[in-house]
Structure 1
Amino acid sequence: MASKIDMSSPVCLIENINEQLMVNKEALNILSGIKQPLVVVAIVGLYRTGKSYLMNKLAGKKRGFSVGSTVQSHTKGIWMWCVPHPNIQNHTLVLLDTEGLGDVEKVDEKNDTQIFALAILLSSIFVYNIMNKIDQESIDLLYNVTELINLLKARCSPDYYKVEDAADSVRFFPDLVWTLRDFFLELEIDGQVITADEYLENSLRPKQGTDKRVQNFNLPRLCIQKFFPKKKCFIFELPSDRKKLAQHEILRNDELDPDFVQQVAEFCSYIFSHSKIKTLPGDIKVTCEGLENLVLTYVNAINNGFLPCMENAVLAMAWIENSAAVQKAIAHYDQKMVQKVQLSTETLQELLDLHRASEREAIQVFMKSSFKDMDQKFLETLEIQLEAKLEYFCKQNLQASSDRCSALLRDIFSPLEEEVCQGIYYKPGGYLLYTLRREGLKKTYCEEPRKGIKSLSDKNLLVHIEEVPEDLNIQVQAKDTS
């Protein structure tokens, strides 16, 4: 069973301290523990517009993400809450609540753009939460961030604007859910009642004409239409009378406006039923490790003066994950070889056979863990390292065999040396007894199992026998012949 994480409360994923972004290691540790597919929902909008309330509802909780009740922005940075997906078994819903845009206490407006861009880059469903109605300002804000991401995503090649690359980029962008809070307008055009989705499409519809003014009007709309082909709009009326608005998160459903309660339920139902796994260009599904690496890559890019480049992020994540896959495969190979080789192998061929079997398993481990190794450079790196490992094990195997042979020779022939030193063979017929004794010990040595490659050579045996002082051999011979 794939492991899941059910957090009791959110944690800060990306801290925003003095408008400097920092990744929280605690949140990364939580991500690394998730082994299920991820559906990532992020929300962005002006501060004090009820973003956190909606995210708490998606988490199935009344409280969790900080809901402010003053003019001061509460949420800082990006907060994460991982909960089991309510509709899809063995999937994790990752909710990302962002700090409100337009905080008057901020010094650098670029910080808002960075938070906005990160929410789009990390999510598979992007919720754009604004007040009252769709206006030119909200369209321009979404366009500016989207276009900036798109330009920086370019592969630094004039071929980027080919159709297939543009299509690949579209597949990377999340689904767009546009939410309108405290909506007060009548949903109708030319006297005809329209849906919220039709209102969104009409707001993003380009005008006819070619003059500069029309082009400026159409440009952001065409961009949003292009990169967010899947769009949905929800309207929310006031949750309660204005006197209770500050406490609406703690109010029971029967204390809220019934229309608002129904609208929130429909919003949550849509998010749950239209969930999609976070993917990257090339239809690559992002794992928990992948999301962790994306966060690190994007924040590092921002802190170095750049907005994230999707392609570079994919390459960086590929390098990180494939490097880890190589190490995982090497560790598997080492484990298998140590288990199988143990002390030593009898022949070189036996060692080679063990190596090939362990090598095949290691490559299978790599292939399961690798990520977008299109040119197979990491596979080549693994193969080179495995060859080096074979050389290492050959040396180790030879040394283990040599050590065992030497130890056996000492154990087997040390009694003979003691006997020679004690003068047992200094008597008539002693040399014959000595020779018979030595040949018997040779046989004992040769019958010992698992001596390894060194046992194929008599050099160890002959060298050890020659360690018996030559003068003793001569003396034994002299006694015998006398």
Structure 2
Amino acid sequence: MASDIHMPGPVCLIENINRKLLINQEASKILSAIKQPVVVVAIVGLYRTGKSYLMNKLAGKKQGFSLGSTVQSHTKGIWMWCLPHPKMPNHTLVLLDTEGLGDVEKGDNENDSWIFALAILLSSTFVYNSMGTINQQAMDQLHYVTELSDRIKAKSTPDANDVEDSADFVSFFPDFVWTLRDFCLDLEVNGQPITADEYLENSLKLTPGNSEKERNFNLPRLCIRKFFPKKKCFIFDRPTHGKKLARLETLHDDELDPEFVLQAEEFCSYIFSHSEIKTLSGGIEVNGPRLENLAQTYVNAISSGDLPCMENAVLALAQIENSAAVQKALAHYDQQMAQKVQLPTETLEELLDLHRASEREAIEVFIKSSFKDVDQKFQEELGAQLEKKLDDFCKQNVQASSDRCSALLQDIFSPLEEEVKQGVYSKPGGYRLFLQKIQALKIKYQRQPRKGIQWNV
């Protein structure tokens, strides 16, 4: 169970080495052991904006995800921390902290775009963290969202117009949460107070016109509105002042701005209460092994120069899970037949009845474990393998019956053969005695149990 997995701190899930992305095997092993549904919260944003601090708050720890205390970007790749969900029993909270976008030392915008896209693909709640207000500079920094349709495919084969409907994206995109750090304005419009959510909606309003300037202004806003129908905004005051910021992870709440402490608590409470289980198309819930396979499939696609495709990832997942479901069902069938069948059976019908009962159970096991078995391809494969197993059982049954009958005949009639050699029946009336003996031995043979279907051949 996931609650048995003790992760004292995060591990790297997707390594970013020399601008090449790789799945970390330690993280892969951890995910493969989590059988519970997962709620996946990923955070992205410019480097040195305090993403890791928020993730540590969600983990209920002061330390964990690396904060760093200099202007250098600290987190590289995507780091993972799996924890028992604080409000959903038998669920696992998976926190994903990403390396900072726009790191001047890295100087690779494409690499940033892939980190951004992977955070979208793997999460059920996507947190975008930025400093200050939602102004045009903040929108310009969120240009990664405008590139998503160039980075991700929903379907392996788009429609006849070669264009993917935004609904295809929305169906698997996470909820969007914008966290604004060191926010210093009053939340009001035209002198009237507004909520953080209203501030976000107001900031996403489009400007009329079709000039290049207006198109550039509207594009990121259009993408956020189109791809993320469920949006939420949180504002945070500056947590503390001066040099204390460099020691943020060591400070107690009473050393921080009380307003910031309250805002962080409200953020965590919202995430715990509203973040949903990661699901795939068709409402399929994701657990640890599925999340592991999704991450591997997407990283493999990026590494090979392809675009990550949700449909292909689901098909790859179905291939893995359905192949395993077939093997699980066959193992159950073997176990049941080993317990129930004692060869040889008295009749063929007895063997067929035992097979049918075990076959029904095996199919039930498969259906419970299978996942999107398109056209029942894997169930048909299971049926073919079960048919082959029945054929093998029938052959074994014939052989077992033949061996049993041969052994019985040898055991019952060998004394008669010895008596003939000794001349017991070489006397007047011996032939009649011989026939009587044979008849008696035949009856004895017929009364022996479990001779099987070859007894009269």
Q: TM-score, normalised by structure 2?
A: 0.91
Alignment match, 2:230: 230
> How far did 1:201 drift?
1.5
**Alignment of structure 1 residues 34-433 onto 2, 5 Å:** 34-106=34-106, 108-139=108-139, 140-150=142-152, 152-158=153-159, 166-418=166-418, 423=422, 425=424, 427-428=426-427
SS at match of 1:52: helix
Name the aligned partner's letter for residue 235 of structure 2: I
**Distance in 2 between residues matched to 1:84 and 1:23, nearest whole Å:** 23
Q: Which stretches in structure 1 are left out of the alignment for 5+ residues?
A: 459-482
Residue identity over aligned pairs, in percent, reads 68
Give runs of ≥4 in structure 1 deviating > 6 Å: 160-163
Question: Which string of whole-angstrom CA distances, capped at 9 and with x for unpartnered residues, describes residues 62-111 of structure 1?
Answer: 22222212333332222221111111222211111112222333264322
Distance 1:274 1:433 in 2: 93
Q: Is the 2:125–2:174 Cα contact (8 Å) retained in structure 1?
A: yes
Query: CA–CA distance in 2 between the matches of 1:2 and 1:356?
Result: 37
- How many correspondences in the alignment? 454
Q: 1:368 to 1:2 in 2, by over 3 A?
A: farther
> How many Å apart are 1:3 and its aligned residue?
6.5
* TM-fit CA distance, 1:344: 2.6
- Cα offsets for 1:346-402 (capped at 9, x unmatched): 211112212221121111111111112242222222222222222122122222222
Offset at residue 248 of structure 1 (A): 0.8
Task: For 1:400 and 1:10, locate their aligned partners in 2 and report how far apart those are by CA, in whole Å.
Answer: 58
Q: Which amino acid aligns with 1:353?
A: D
The alpha-carbon distance between structure 1 residues 447 and 35, as it changes in their structure 2 partners (threshold 3 A), is same
Measure, in 1, the Cα distance between the counterparts of 2:231 and 2:35: 29
SS in structure 2 at match of 1:386: helix
CA distance in 1, matches of 2:228, 2:92: 23
Q: Please give the secondary structure, in 1, of the residue aligned with 2:375.
A: coil
C-alpha RMSD over aligned residues: 2.5
The residue type equivalent to 1:53 in the other structure is Y
Conserved 8 A contact 1:4-1:90: no
User: Whole-Å Cα distance in 1 between the matches of residues 225 and 424 of structure 2?
Assistant: 103
Which residue of structure 2 aligns with residue 472 of structure 1? none
Structure 1 residues 405 and 109: CA distance shift in structure 2, 3 A: farther
Instruction: Give the structure with higher Rg (CA).
Output: 1
Q: What is the rounded CA distance, in whole Å, between the counterparts of 1:137 and 1:300 in structure 2? A: 34
Q: Alignment partner of 2:259: what SS? A: helix
Change (3 A) 1:41 1:160: farther
One-letter amino acid matched to 1:405 = C
Q: Secondary structure of 1:96's match?
A: strand
Amino acid paired to 2:157: C
The alpha-carbon distance between structure 1 residues 72 and 407, as it changes in their structure 2 partners (threshold 3 A), is farther
SS in 2 for 1:79: strand
CA distance in 2, matches of 1:328, 1:334: 10
- Contact 1:168 1:282 (C-alpha < 8 Å) held by counterparts: no
The change in CA–CA distance for 1:353 and 1:173 in structure 2 (over 3 A counts) is same
In structure 1, C-alpha distance between the alignment counterparts of 2:19 and 2:121, rounded to whole Å = 19
Assess if the C-alpha contact under 8 Å between 2:143 and 2:220 holds in 1: no
Distance 1:343 1:185, change over 3 A: same
Q: CA deviation at 1:249?
A: 0.8
Question: What is the one-letter code of the residue matched to 1:56?
Answer: N
Work out the CA distance in 2 between the residues paired with 1:288 and 1:108.
31
Structure 2 CA distance, aligned partners of 1:361 and 1:91? 29
Q: Report if the CA contact (8 A) 1:355-1:390 is conserved.
A: yes
Question: Secondary structure of 1:180's partner?
Answer: strand
2:427 partner amino acid: P
Q: CA deviation at 1:115?
A: 1.4
CA deviations 1:296-329 (Å, max 9, x no partner) are 2111111111231111111211222122222222
Distance 1:157 1:197, change over 3 A: same
- SS across alignment from 1:158: coil
